Each structure stands twice: as structure tokens, then as C-alpha cells.
Chains A and B, each alone.
Chain A
Amino acid sequence: MPQQPVPILEARQLHTYYGASHILHGISLSIKPGETLSLMGRNGMGKTTLLRSLLGLTPPRRGTVKVYGRDMTGAPPQKIVRQGIAFVPEDRGIFPNLTVRENLVMAARPGPNGRKDWDLTRVLETFPRLAQRINNMGNHLSGGEQQMLTVGRALMTNPDLLILDEATEGLAPLIRKEIWSVVRKIKQSGIAAILVDKDLKALLELADRNIIISKGRIVYEGSSEELAAHPEIHARHLGV
């Protein structure tokens, strides 16, 4: 049997609760280095909770989370992400009281193996709009610029795995296109990604594997070719 690479992130049988409500019902998933995984599902089905569980922000009550084979269940978020994970949350998490430059610089650190592929210069080359607004405060940016900033900030941590939660939600089509083209470049540079989004077309083009979640359970897992060939699957789980 050929040796499988150690997954960057591996979750087994996650059960997560908010107070008394049981949100995740035994979700297992893993992502290999360089792989792009999409996570789909209607609103309120547990996608964001799953991401928060993986990152230690809302620790699962049962189940395990491993990063590069090391058990990180219950570890604080900063320990988990320092293994090479960067998170772009749905609300973007821009620091409004810091300038664009400060938002980027405060996050800078080498990757888990000392890699320093991404620095301020490269991020600003990737997002020229940010270079123009470098001294603006975080709360004086448009939604699209904020999204670029939060992705750029994530890259400043030189991650092996980038997790994007609804990165294109509520953005104008042109800005969306720009974000997706950057995600494509990130994928080509070998960084793994977990993408949560509603833009099915973009996800099918970028993702190697797709997972659909419904009511806290994985109801479908398959390649983009397969999912594209079976419109009834997304009609059942994603259609309105």
C-alpha cells in the first residue's frame, strides 16, 4: 500500500454543542497537504461551528482534532493555528482601530517549518488595492477591501492550510472574481484550503473534494467532477 501523507488537519467524530443545543453530530474529515476542500450546506447546518471546532474556538465536547498527527483536542486556538493554519472568519475580524499596515504586520510570523514565503511586500503585490490604502484605518475600508485585508493578514502567517469562511459573501461580482483569482493562486502555490462558500461554480472549479453538511452531519462527500455530474445532489442539499 502506498504511504499516505500525514493529513494537516484530521477530525474524528466531532460532537459540538452551544449550551444545550447539539450542533455537530459526529463529523469526521481530514485534509492533506496541498488539497482544496469545499464545505457546503444551507445556513445554520453547522459549517461555521465545524470550523470553530477545528480551530479550538468552540471546542468539541466529544471527538478528536489532530494537526499533523498530533492530538490538539481542547488546545487553545493560538496553539492549533501555530501548527500552520490561518483562519479568515465570516465577519472578517478586521481590527478597526489599526491601520491596514498594522493589521498585516501584527500577524506576521514564519510558517511551521520556518518558511517565510509571504511578507508585507508580497501581500501588497497580491492585493494592490491594499497598498493604496496602507495607512487607512481598518474601519475605513469597503467590504471588498476588508476581505482582501483579512485574506492578506492570514497569508502573513505563512500557513500550510487556509480556512476561508464565506469569503465572497455580499461582495460585488468583480471583487468576488478578484478574491477567487487570489484563492486560485494560493492553491497553485501549494497551500491547502478549506473553502466555505455559496458560490457553487467557483467551488467546483477550485475544490479537489467537496463535503456537504446538513443538520450537523456529512451527507455527501465527492470530487468536483462527480458533484457537477449530479445536479440532483446539490438540488437536494443546497437548493432552496
Chain B
Amino acid sequence: MELSFYLVQLLNAIQYGFLLFLVASGLTLLFGIMGIINLAHGSFYMIGAYLAYWLTDVTGNLWLGILLGLPIALLVGYLVERFAISFLYQRDHLYQVLLTFALILIFNELQQILWGTDVHGVAIPAILAGSIPLTENQSYPIYRLFISAVCIALACGMSWVIQKTRLGMMIRAGASNREMVQSLGINVNRLFALVFSLGVALAAFAGMLAAPVDSVYPGMGENVLIISFVVVVIGGTGSIKGAFVGAMLIGLVSTFGKVLLPEMASVMAYALMAVILLWRPQGLFGRAR
């Protein structure tokens, strides 16, 4: 096989890794900062994809669909945090698992009521519909490059907010000593609601971006959820850097797994996780507890 073939696979792996990162970074933040295990995180990815499908259908334009869909996703996240999650911060993880599992069922049911069980597709916007030719018979779709570029920008933006802004300092401080943050006059509840909503919006945005390249179908959230947990565990819970490296590793392993070892492809990601956990039980960038 030619080099360009591997180049295409590499680009696919990176693009898939970036999408996983958007979902997994929210998951790891919610766990690391707020101590919340959010099984419904994949549902928000699904909600994003369905919002993109529905609103693109209504407005005839993916950009408008995303623009209208993001505030809806933020609102859903905010409401879920206020009316469900916020009651469980001081509780055992088991309560959170039960509650967020119930949310999966509710969101899936709502999805079937609102949009049915058909598989849908979303058209790639005309401006990004083309491909870049690599060789005579190999080319790479511009839209996939676009996904990677947007994700790079978002990852940089996120790291800037967390490392450089006062909001980021408060979030990190809240992760280490909630009561002290309160004693300094900061409303921790509002801060956590914001973090949760942003995490939800990131997952939904990933779903929106992915809608034109993958199809939009019932149960898509669970697939993403499981592999995102693998990413979080590999990277170390609570570590954004870990989520990034983990997402890229999973992107590479599953993309090249499908090509090189098709009969083993479905277990590759889990095998990788097992090997990494044997070597570093706290994950690549996790702190030992």
C-alpha cells in the first residue's frame, strides 16, 4: 500500500481523536473538578448530532444549525445540572451513576419521540464539500480537515481559559478546596453549573461537527460514551492533557486497527487500556490516589 494511504488513515485517526477529545475532556473535567460521574455525557453528544440534523433541516444550513443548537445544548446542560446533578455533589458515586443512567434512558426515549428511529444524514456545507487530491486516486475531504482545525482551536481556547483566566483559576481552586473558594466570596454552585454546561456544550458540539461525516442514529451516544470513558481512564481522571493524549492514542489504535487487523479491531482500544493500566494504574497523566 502506498504512503498516501497511510497519510489518509493518519489524518482520519487524528480527526477522530480530536472529536473524542471534545467529549472526553468534558467527562474528565466533570469528574476531576466536580467529582461527578456523568454517564449521560454520550447523550449530549447524541443530542448535539440530532440538533444539527434537525436544525440544518429546518434552516437549510449547518452553520445556522450549529449556531442555534449550541445555546439549546447549553440550556439543556444548565437545567440538568440545576435540577438533577446539583443534588448529588455530596453523595456517593453510585447515586450519580443511577441518576445519569436514568438520564440516558430519558434522552433516548425523547430522541425516539421527537425524531424517530431512522438513521439520518447531514449534508456537508457546500463551501467545505470538496476534497484535496493527494495522488491520482487518493484524496482527503476538506470537511474532515475542518473538524481537526476547529478542534485544535477549541483545545487551545480551553487550555487558555483554564490556565490563564480568573475563571480557570477559580475552577481549579474549586477542584482542590470547595469550601475555601466559598469563603473567598465566590459562588461555587454557579461556578459548577457553568462548568457542567460548558462540558455538555463541548460534547454536543462534537456531535454537531461529527454529524456530516458519521450518520445520526439512535444509540450513537452510548458508543461514544464507552470509548470516551476508555480515553479518560487511559489519560488519568481529571487531566485534560491526559484526555488529549488518550483520545489521540484511541484515534490511532482504532483507525489503524480497522485497516491492519480488521478481525481484532473492536478489542484493540480495550487491549490498549488494559496494557496502560497494568503499567500505570492511575492512567498516563493521573495522580496516584
Q: Does B177 contact A (CB under 8 A)?
A: yes
Say yes or no for B186: interface residue by CB 8 A criterion: yes
- A residues less than 8 Å from B183 (CB atoms): 55, 57, 77-78, 81, 87, 89, 93
| B172 on the A face (CB < 8 A) | yes
Number of residues from B at the complex interface, CB < 8 A: 17
Whether A76 sits at the interface, judged by CB under 8 Å, is yes
B175 at the A/B interface (Cβ < 8 Å)?
yes
Which residues does chain B contribute within 8 Å of A107, judged by CB atoms?
A: 184-185
**A105 to B175 alpha-carbon distance, docked (Å):** 17
Contact between A109 and B169, CB atoms less than 8 A apart: no
Determine which of A77, A86, A89, A95 lies in contact with B173 in the assembled complex, contact meaning CB atoms within 8 Å: A95
Which secondary structure dominates chain B's binding surface?
Answer: helix
Cβ of B173: which chain A residues have Cβ within 8 Å of it?
Answer: 95, 97-98, 103, 106
Chain A residue nearest to B167 (CB atoms) is: A106
**Contact flag A81-B175 (CB < 8 Å), given A89-B180, A106-B169:** no
Give CA–CA (A109, B184) in the complex, Å: 10
Q: How large is the interface on A (under 10, 10 to 19, 20 to 34, 35 or more residues)?
A: 20 to 34
Instruction: Decide if B59 is an interface residue (CB 8 Å cutoff).
Output: no
Any A CB within 8 A of the CB of B214: no
Q: Please tell me if B179 contacts chain A, counting CB pairs below 8 Å.
A: yes
Main SS at interface, chain A: loop
**Residues on the A chain within 8 Å of B179, using CB:** 57, 77, 93
Q: Taking the complex as formed, is A96 at the interface, i.e. its CB lies under 8 A from any CB of chain B?
A: yes
Given A105-B169, A106-B166, A106-B170, answer yes or no on A97-B185 (Cβ-Cβ < 8 Å): no
Q: Are A95 and B177 in contact (CB under 8 A)?
A: yes
- B188 touching A97 by the CB < 8 A rule? no
What are 10 of the A-B contact pairs (CB < 8 Å)? Answer: A93-B179, A93-B180, A95-B173, A95-B180, A96-B176, A97-B176, A102-B172, A106-B166, A107-B185, A109-B185
User: A interface vs B, CB < 8 Å?
Assistant: 55, 57, 76-78, 81-82, 86-87, 89, 93, 95-98, 102-103, 105-109, 153, 157
* Apart from A78-B184, A97-B173, 4 more pairs, CB < 8 Å: A57-B182, A81-B183, A93-B180, A109-B185
